Amino acid sequence: MQTVLRRTALATVAALALGAAAGAWAQDIKPRLIRFGYGLNEQSNQGRAAKVFADAVEKGSGGKMKVRAIGAAALGPDTQMQQALIGGAQEMMVGSTATLVGITKEMALWDTPFLFNNVKEADAVLDGPIGQKVMDKLAEKGLVGLVYWENGFRNLTNNKRAVAKVEDMEGIKLRVMQNEVFLNTFKTLGANAIPLPFSELFSALETKTVDGQENPFNTILSSKFYEVQKYLSVTNHVYSPWIVTVSKKWWDGLSKEEQKVLLDAARASREFERKDTRDEAAKALADLKGRGMQVNELSPAEAARMRAKLGAINTGIAANIGQPLWDETQAELARLRGG
Ligand code: TF8
């Protein structure tokens, strides 16, 4: 009797499991239209990777899920798209982690000047438990983070003078991202820091509302900043990630299958994007010189002085994101550096 009962129970469990699996296949990928917004133009590294993501989603869903990638901030600057995602009016976007700091304070970790020495460290931390922990914080605010892409190491351009030492920053009207850490960083360096959305940057440079800006080589090239900027100083002062995010309101209504299609496609796009960005960055400097930019490096001594001056910023970041997260990151970096 016991055995019979047990057998029946097992058979029932098996039947239920089979039924659930069959049901999952039959109904769990629906036709979906996904508006995926981003700020750079289609010819940028961001635009190329958005297309790779769109293709991967289409393929992974057997053509049912369609991504409409919309660039050049046509759906608004980062902060506006973030609100649209939170409200459920837009499904997805990719943008700077820096513009998310007002929503999720832990994102400020990535704005720490000179946090990573190289892309290997950046990949390890961003794709590891610390990166995940910071990304998971978004859920409380109505966003789901899928993956980090590379924006890259940021460098300074301006129209006033070649910046070879901290003192050269004095009085330069510098556009910064809309975030306290960037504002403080460049105030500390003596610049007149002015927060502006990226979508307004080219015209602000053109009309001389600001003298300069800072972004990776790729963006200086793809956004044609070389047309309106003379000096390029290789400062590598911070590594900026991009982050692919989803409206949580919309995400919660997706099946597990659909969520997996998006996550798999996001991971594939990350692999493509980082390689593409690094390949482009390696050639971009020569290209920018060829287009007439005057490029200078910082001597190791001047770079060290700049770093030391920015040390003060770190205390504020640690306090903001919480000392435990700061300490955990420093420990992880020490481990990666073999310390
Ligand atoms: C910046 C960022 C931009 C990104 C992009 C629009 O300077 O580096 O590249 O926000 O997603 O604003």
DSSP string, 269-284: HHHHHHHHHHHHHHHH
Return the axis-axis angle of helices 119-126 and 256-290, rounded to nearest 10°. 160
Ligand 1 geometric centre to CA of 271 (Å): 20
Nearest CA to ligand 1 atom 6: 39
Decide: 198 in ligand 1 pocket, CB within 6 A: yes
The candidate with the shortest Cα–Cα distance to 324, out of 120, 170, 130, 110, is 130
Share of the chain above pLDDT 90, in %: 91
| Token pair in block for residue 308 | 């030391």
- Asked if residue 13 has pLDDT above 90, the reply is no
Domain boundaries, the chain: 30-336
Decide: 155 in ligand 1 pocket, CB within 6 A: no
Ligand 1 geometric centre to CA of 5 (Å): 63
Residue 25 has what pLDDT? 53
pLDDT band at 121 (very low <50, low <70, confident <90, very high): very high
Average pLDDT of the chain to the nearest whole number: 93
Q: Report the sign of the C-alpha dihedral through residues 102, 107, 108, 111, in that order.
A: negative
Q: What is the pLDDT of residues 23-43, one digit of tens each?
A: 445 469 999 999 999 999 999
- Segment 66-77 mean pLDDT: 98
Ligand 1 geometric centre to CA of 197 (Å): 8
pLDDT band at 195 (very low <50, low <70, confident <90, very high): very high
pLDDT band at 159 (very low <50, low <70, confident <90, very high): very high
Share of the chain above pLDDT 70, in %: 92
pLDDT band at 162 (very low <50, low <70, confident <90, very high): very high
Distance CA 59, CA 235 (A): 41
Decide: 238 in ligand 1 pocket, CB within 6 A: no
Distance CA 75, CA 173 (A): 28
Nearest CA to ligand 1 atom 1: 198
Q: What's the CATH number of domain 30-336, 2.30.110.10, 3.40.190.170, 3.40.50.800, 2.60.40.10? A: 3.40.190.170
Nearest CA to ligand 1 atom 12: 198
101-106 contacts: CB < 8 A, separation 24 or more?
Answer: 101/179, 101/180, 101/181, 102/178, 102/179, 103/138, 103/141, 103/143, 104/134, 104/137, 104/138, 104/140, 104/141, 104/143, 105/320, 105/321, 106/133, 106/134, 106/137, 106/321, 106/322, 106/325
Residue 7 has what pLDDT? 52
Ligand 1 geometric centre to CA of 96 (Å): 6
Ligand 1 geometric centre to CA of 27 (Å): 38
